[in-house]
């Protein structure tokens, strides 16, 4: 057990604390294929709707007894709202990641300030690695997505190496940077159960997930990219937060016996992110691996 304040050893343990950032300066910029398409189609974020939807997400989390902690939004950081990327909670302490996009590099100082020296376990120094590609699946099991951009081989090798030293089984999952991060095409929704866009990942990686005892629920390309349908947050205890517009996927999750909290978040999905991107779990209760 970590001696630090924050701790997670899975993507699905009971969530107690989470880090968010108000969308005060949120905007869509042409830095990912989803936002580019939205802008080319003449759409733009609506300030009132952005704030209303963020507040709806916070209300859903607080209604599930999750303590919400907030970064202070800063001008010039349009994607600071996506707190998943700039740090990563681990069983050993917090890792400050290394962001790829120039417009996001200013987020590091605010992350350093939020956590403080005593909470930071490691700071990534090789290449780039972002939290949207990091999946602490379960105790002893880690997957890191690698596109060569937002997370590259050097960054992934440094991060997985820390877990290798601790005796964890790790795997780097390679896929196209068209999909931004691994959490756009894969996410855990409950212990041993995940959403996946199977056409985005190699068959050998899908087989690897299955070999770990993870059952994969299929999501289409359109659902993954248009709706950010894989980009959900497991709360533990059979609960998951998923965007309201992901109607078919939400029905599929409910058919699995899960309780689905479904705030409206289309203002964020059209910019290339959703619930998983907007939340960095700070503390989950330990998940005992059978």
Gap between the terminal Cα atoms of the chain: 17
Measuring CA to CA, how many Å separate 259 from each of 20, 100, 190? 22, 35, 11
> Domain coordinates of the chain in residue numbers?
15-284
Residue by residue, DSSP assigns 10-63 as: -SSSPEEEEEE---TT----SSSHHHHHHHHTT----HHHHHHHHHHHHHHHHH
Q: Residue 29's pLDDT is what?
A: 75
Strands 120-123 and 280-284 come out as: unpaired
- 223 pLDDT above the threshold of 80: yes
pLDDT at 43: 78
- Residue 35's pLDDT is 63
Structure tokens given for 109: 């100082």
Helix (H, G, I), strand (E, B) or coil at 283: strand
Please report the pLDDT score of residue 290 as a whole number.
47
Distance (Å, whole) CA 246 – CA 108: 32
For the cut 50, the answer to whether the pLDDT of residue 205 exceeds it is yes
Question: Quick check: 1 pLDDT over 50?
Answer: no
Partners of 119 in the beta sheet? Answer: none
pLDDT in the model for residue 40 = 77
Tokens of 105: 């590099």
pLDDT, residue 59, reads: 98
Residue 242: name the closest of 268, 216, 222, 221 by CA.
268
Can you give the pLDDT at residue 232?
Answer: 98
Predicted pLDDT of residue 2:
44
- Residue 246: strand, helix, or coil: coil
233-271 tens-digit pLDDT: 999 999 999 999 999 999 999 999 999 999 999 988 777
Cα angle 214-195-205, degrees, rounded to a multiple of 5 = 55
- Exposed / middle / buried, residue 1 (Cβ in 10 Å: 0-12, 13-18, 19+): exposed
| Alpha-carbon distances, residue 249 vs 11, 60, 235, 273 (angstroms) | 19, 19, 17, 17
The per-residue pLDDT for range 92-120, each reduced to its tens digit, is: 999 999 999 999 999 999 999 999 988 99
Residue 201 CA to residue 171 CA, distance in Å, equals 13
Which pLDDT value is given to residue 110? Answer: 96
pLDDT at 268: 86
CA angle 143, 183, 277 (to 5 degrees): 125
- Using the 8-state DSSP alphabet, how is residue 231 labeled? -
Range with the poorest average pLDDT among 9-18, 44-53, 164-173: 44-53
Q: How far is CA 256 from the centre of its chain?
A: 22
Average confidence (pLDDT) over 230-234: 98
Residue 218 predicted with pLDDT over 70: yes
H-helix or E-strand spanning residue 205: helix 203-211
CB 241 within 8 A of CB 261: yes
Fold of 15-284: 3.75.10
Query: pLDDT at position 44, please?
Result: 80
Bridge pairing between strands 239-241 and 259-261: parallel
Average pLDDT, the chain: 93
Phi/psi at 255 (nearest 5 deg)?
Answer: -65, -20
Question: What pLDDT sits at residue 3?
Answer: 53
- Give the tens place of pLDDT for each residue, 35-84: 667 667 777 877 888 999 999 999 999 999 999 999 999 999 999 999 99
Tell whether the model's pLDDT for residue 289 goes beyond 70. no
């Amino acid at each position: 057990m970590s001696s630090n304040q924050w701790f997670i050893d899975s993507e699905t343990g009971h969530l107690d604390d989470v880090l968010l950032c108000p969308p005060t300066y949120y905007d869509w910029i042409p830095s990912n294929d989803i936002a580019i398409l939205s802008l080319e189609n003449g759409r733009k974020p609506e300030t009132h709707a952005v704030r209303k939807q963020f507040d709806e997400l916070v209300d859903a989390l607080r209604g599930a007894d999750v303590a919400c902690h907030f970064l202070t939004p800063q001008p010039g950081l349009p994607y600071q709202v996506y707190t998943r990327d700039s740090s990563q909670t681990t069983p050993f302490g917090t890792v400050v990641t290394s962001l790829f996009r120039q417009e996001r590099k200013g987020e590091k100082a605010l992350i350093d300030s939020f956590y403080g020296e005593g909470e930071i376990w490691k700071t990534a120094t090789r290449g780039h690695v972002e939290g949207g590609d990091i999946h602490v699946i379960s105790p002893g099991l880690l997957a890191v997505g690698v596109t060569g951009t937002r997370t590259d081989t050097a960054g992934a090798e440094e991060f997985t190496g820390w877990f290798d030293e601790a005796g964890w089984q790790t795997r780097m999952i390679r896929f196209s940077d068209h999909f931004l991060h691994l959490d756009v095409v894969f996410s855990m929704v409950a212990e041993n159960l995940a959403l996946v866009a199977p056409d985005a990942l190699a068959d050998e990686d899908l087989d690897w997930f299955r070999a770990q005892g993870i059952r994969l629920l299929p999501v289409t390309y359109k659902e993954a990219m248009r709706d950010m349908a894989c980009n959900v947050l497991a709360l533990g205890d059979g609960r998951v937060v998923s965007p309201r517009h992901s109607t078919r996927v939400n029905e599929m999750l409910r058919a699995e016996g899960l309780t689905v909290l479904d705030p409206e978040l289309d203002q964020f999905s059209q910019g290339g992110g959703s619930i998983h991107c907007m939340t960095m779990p700070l503390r989950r209760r330990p998940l005992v691996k059978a």
